[in-house]
């Protein structure tokens, strides 16, 4: 009997004694799905420079190959988000891109629009004073809606850099009105059965005012648009100390919690590996979700079961595929711990006003060693027990570093 099996048996006996249905917990863990971002597999950097990584993706197919490798190692990363125009296929064939992803064992997930990088968006996109610029941004998002139908995506991910840098630069109320009108136009063209997820960011690159600065603004826009619009939470898009799990709980209760961009941050939008700074915070987010899932309450339970879990990281110095596997595993660990919170016991302590008791129940759940359970789940799923070790032993990184060729451009490495 292996040491992993012994550890699992010991853990399972304790969990059964505590009243957990271990088979049910494992079944839920096997359905977990974390979407990886195509752009994280390519060379990226800060506003000051880009640090090339041997083997980083150069083409769209490279990105799909890397995403497929993450899924092969973990078993819970079956889709990859794409960013337009960064991920326009080399031959322009989106059907071919979808088919190629399928041949690698993954699928195309969210389609992310880009209305921030062109020079014309210097003063904004859908909030820009010039109606021609607004139309250009809307046309691009409508193009993304068409791409969604070609790649079988059900998520349109929307983030806007719109804002102002100086007081008096523009009329803030008028900018709000422009955003509402232009989003209504995009909303009308969403493919049937799909969703638009509205992301927010409290600052950067606009430093006086940001047009969608917080979850309340995104919630208001989503509510005005309709049932196919929800809020997307990026963990790095908050001031320090923000209680993100409370935002999650509120949006779940309102039926407007649509998806995540998982990452971590020390100061602002650092886009660090998931759980690298605040693993307890990641656990608390999953705890809020699992609590809603198991509540049976409408609409919280249904909403919690339809969340799009996506990663958004900028790998500057740590590599590409290995760090992505690490982030996926951190999400898996946080989810497993949240599934093993003794809900009835916690509820009783909360209703009795037992502050310390309730707090300790949750904290102790966050400290539980779930690695034997996850190893058992991976074994039953036919993926490596130690995905990161298996990845580095596979030779994949050495292989792609020899195959992928870079060229220096005026803005860095491509």
What is the pLDDT averaged over residues 329-345?
Answer: 98
- pLDDT above 50 (res 412): no
113: tokens are 């629009």
What is the pLDDT averaged over residues 123-131?
Answer: 98
- pLDDT above 90 (res 364): yes
What is the pLDDT averaged over residues 336-356?
Answer: 98
What is the pLDDT averaged over residues 317-342?
Answer: 97
pLDDT of residue 410: 39
What value does the mean pLDDT of the chain take? 95
Cβ neighbors of 270 (< 8 A, separation 6 or more) are: 236, 263, 264
pLDDT in tens, 219-234: 999 999 999 999 999 9
Among the listed residues 283, 295, 304, the one whose alpha carbon sits nearest the alpha carbon of residue 362: 283
- pLDDT above 80 (res 56): yes
Q: Which domains are delineated in the chain?
A: 31-340 (3.20.20.150)
> Any idea how long the chain is?
414
Confidence tier at 411 by pLDDT (50, 70, 90) = very low
pLDDT of residue 46: 66
pLDDT of residue 406: 63
Q: What is the pTM of this model?
A: 0.95
- pLDDT above 70 (res 414): no
Q: Integer distance in angstroms from the first to the last C-alpha of the chain?
A: 49
- pLDDT above 90 (res 378): yes
């Amino acid at each position: 009997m292996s040491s992993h099996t012994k550890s699992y048996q010991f853990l399972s006996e304790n969990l059964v004694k505590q009243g957990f249905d271990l088979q049910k917990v494992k079944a839920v863990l096997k359905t977990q799905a974390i979407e990886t971002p195509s752009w994280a597999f390519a060379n990226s950097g800060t506003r000051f420079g880009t640090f090339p990584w041997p083997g980083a993706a150069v083409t769209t197919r490279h990105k799909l190959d890397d995403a497929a490798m993450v899924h092969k190692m973990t078993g819970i990363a079956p889709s990859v988000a794409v960013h337009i125009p960064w991920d326009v296929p080399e031959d322009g064939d989106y059907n071919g891109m979808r088919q190629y992803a399928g041949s690698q064992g993954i699928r195309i997930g969210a389609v992310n629009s880009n209305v921030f990088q062109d020079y014309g968006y210097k003063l904004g996109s859908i909030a820009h004073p010039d109606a021609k610029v607004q139309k250009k941004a809307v046309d691009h998002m409508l193009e993304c809606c068409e791409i969604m139908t070609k790649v079988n995506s059900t998520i349109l991910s929307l983030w806007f850099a719109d804002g102002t840098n100086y007081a008096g630069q523009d009329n803030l109320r008028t900018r709000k009105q422009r955003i509402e009108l232009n989003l209504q136009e995009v909303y009308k063209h969403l493919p049937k059965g799909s969703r638009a997820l509205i992301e927010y960011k409290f600052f950067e690159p606009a430093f006086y005012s940001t047009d969608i600065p917080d979850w309340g603004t995104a919630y208001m826009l989503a509510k005005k648009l309709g049932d196919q619009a929800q809020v997307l939470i990026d963990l790095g898009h908050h001031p320090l100390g923000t209680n993100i799990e409370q935002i999650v709980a509120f949006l779940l209760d309102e039926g407007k919690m649509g998806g995540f961009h998982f990452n971590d941050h020390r100061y602002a939008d650092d886009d660090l590996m998931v759980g690298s700074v605040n693993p307890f915070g990641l656990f608390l987010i999953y705890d809020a979700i699992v609590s809603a899932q198991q509540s049976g309450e409408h609409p919280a339970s249904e909403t919690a079961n339809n969340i799009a879990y996506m990663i958004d990281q900028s790998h500057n110095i740590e590599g590409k595929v290995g760090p992505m596997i690490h982030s996926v595993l951190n999400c898996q660990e946080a989810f497993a711990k949240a599934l093993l919170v003794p809900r009835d016991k916690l509820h009783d302590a909360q209703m009795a006003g037992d502050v310390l008791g309730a707090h300790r129940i949750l904290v102790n759940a966050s400290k539980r060693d779930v690695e034997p359970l996850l190893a058992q789940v991976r074994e039953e799923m036919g993926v490596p027990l130690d995905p990161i070790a298996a990845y580095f032993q596979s030779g994949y990184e050495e292989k792609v570093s020899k195959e992928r060729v870079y060229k220096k451009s005026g803005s860095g490495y491509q």
